[in-house]
Structure formats: C-alpha cells, structure tokens
Amino acid sequence: MTWWRKADWLTRSGLLCLVLLALGTLAGTVLGIGGDPDEMVGPRLAPPNGEYLLGTDELGRSMLPRLFEGIGTTLVLSALAVLVTAVLATLLGIAAGYRGGWLGEIVLRLVEVLHSFPVIVLAILVAAVLGPGQTATICSIILITIPLMTRVVRAAAVSVSERDYVTSAVISGARWPRILSRHLLPNLSGTIAVQGTYALSVGILVEGGLSFLGFGVQPPQSSLGALIQQGSIYLLAAPWLVIGPGIVLVLAILAINVFGDGLRDSLEPREARSLV
C-alpha cells in the first residue's frame, strides 16, 4: 500500500470516514441499535430526545434504525452498480483502446449515445421501463456511470498499448490473455480505481435524486434519498427528518470525492508551484 504512505491527512481521513460509516452502519443494523426500523414505537414527529436519538417520523418510527437501514441500502446499491460499471467499462475500454478497429468504433458509438441522454431523464426512463425500485436504481447508476468510465479507461488503454513493453510482449509472441493480465490490467488499475471512486459518488447522488423524485427505492424500505424525500414533506414541522440523512449523505459523497482526489494525486504525483 504505497499510496497510503504518500497520501496526505485529508485523503486518509476521507477513507477512514467512509470505512467508519460502513462499519457503523453494519454494526447498527446487525446489533439492532435503536430497535426495529419498521416498528411504530413512539409518538409521531417527536424531536430528537434521550429515548429516540434522532427523533421519530410521521408514523412514529424511530429515525436512528431507519437511518442505519437507509445508509446500508444506499451504499450497497451504489457499490453493486459501480462494481458492474467497473467490470463492463474495463472490458469495453480495453476492447476499444487496445483492439480498436470496428469493435472500438461500436463501443465508442454506444457510449456516445448513452452519454447524450440527460442524466435524470435517463434514470427516470429506466425506472419507467423496469418499474420503480432497487433494480431500476442499480441499472440507472450503471447506465449513467458507464460512458465516462469507458472513455477514460479507453484513453488510458490506448496510451498503455503504445508502450514499448507491450510491443515487445507482442513481438515475443505473447497471447492476448497474457498481455491483458500482465501489462494492461496492472497499468490500468490506478485509473480504474480513481474512476471507480468518482462513479461511486455519482451512484450515491443518482440513488438519492431518483428516490427523492419517487422513482427509486420504494417505502417502507429506506434509503438516504427516500428518507430525505419522505422527510421533506414535513420539512417545516420536523426538520430533523431531513437533517440526519442529509448530513450523512453529504459526508459520504465528500469522503469518497476527497479520497478519490487523493488517490489520483498519489498515483500521478506532480510538482506544485505557486505564482504569488
């Protein structure tokens, strides 16, 4: 883990924050801290107090376990989608960048078609075709994040495949599986990791936006976007319904972005100079 030694405090705290958020949510869900997220336990719209740390919602459900469930849903959906995006974008990007030819043309064209759809409209179309819910959310995130990642991986694959070590491997008779596993993938892994972190933050944004508009995760299941959507109805009477999920959402995206920036900087270090 050389990048960890090279990373600055901000990058490290980004990763730490993300890990803590995931572990905390896992612990909270497994241990059942705060009770059952679906059980109506208390008074309706109670502000945060000793018994209900984050208050209760319009049905008297405690917000703390609902928040745990919400973070879990959002993180799992986005991570699954980004995993699929990463695999597909890597395959497509290498096919277009290393092999090129008609296959590359087709990949680039498909990616451009997807890219020219407005983001939220694309997500809502997917939700309309598949029906609102988790599957639609995952598919939307994949379709939205795949164009950019494929393009970046392709550009990197083009530059790697022009290097001398690839040429010499080809000349010495190496087959493509060997070139792929020995030369292309190791040299593209940094790019893929950085793009993956950015895609993850986009994924969380898309889940939030889609659920906020009512086309994503459906009640009674909670997600960060769904919690904010339901809470925004009672925004003036019970702002705590939005504040908790809102802060967690911003924190998660910020941590991922800051970590991604730091990862990129430590993989492609450069000097800095000040003019003033």
Binding footprint of another protein on the chain (CB under 8 A): 8-10, 109-110, 112-113, 115-121, 124-125, 128-129, 131, 201, 205, 208-209, 212-213, 225, 228, 232, 235-236, 239, 242, 246, 249-250, 253-254, 257-258, 261, 270-276
Q: Return the number of the residue (185 or 213) whose C-beta is nearest another protein.
A: 213
Q: Return the number of the residue (155 or 174) whose C-beta is nearest another protein.
A: 155
| CB 171, min distance to another protein, A | 25
| CB 237, min distance to another protein, A | 11
Straight-line distance from the first to the last Cα atom of the chain, in angstroms, rounded to the nearest whole number: 35
Peptide bond into 37 cis (omega under 30): no
Here the tokens at position 256 are: 């991922």
The number of residues making up the chain comes to 276
Amino acid at position 249, single letter: L
Q: Return the number of the residue (184 or 204) whose C-beta is nearest another protein.
A: 204
| CB 32, min distance to another protein, A | 28
Q: Return the number of the residue (219 or 239) whose C-beta is nearest another protein.
A: 239
Residue given tokens 């292309």 in the structure block: 184
Residue given tokens 């960060």 in the structure block: 224
DSSP H or E run through 220: none
CA atoms of 53 and 73, how far apart (whole Å): 21
| CB 92, min distance to another protein, A | 16
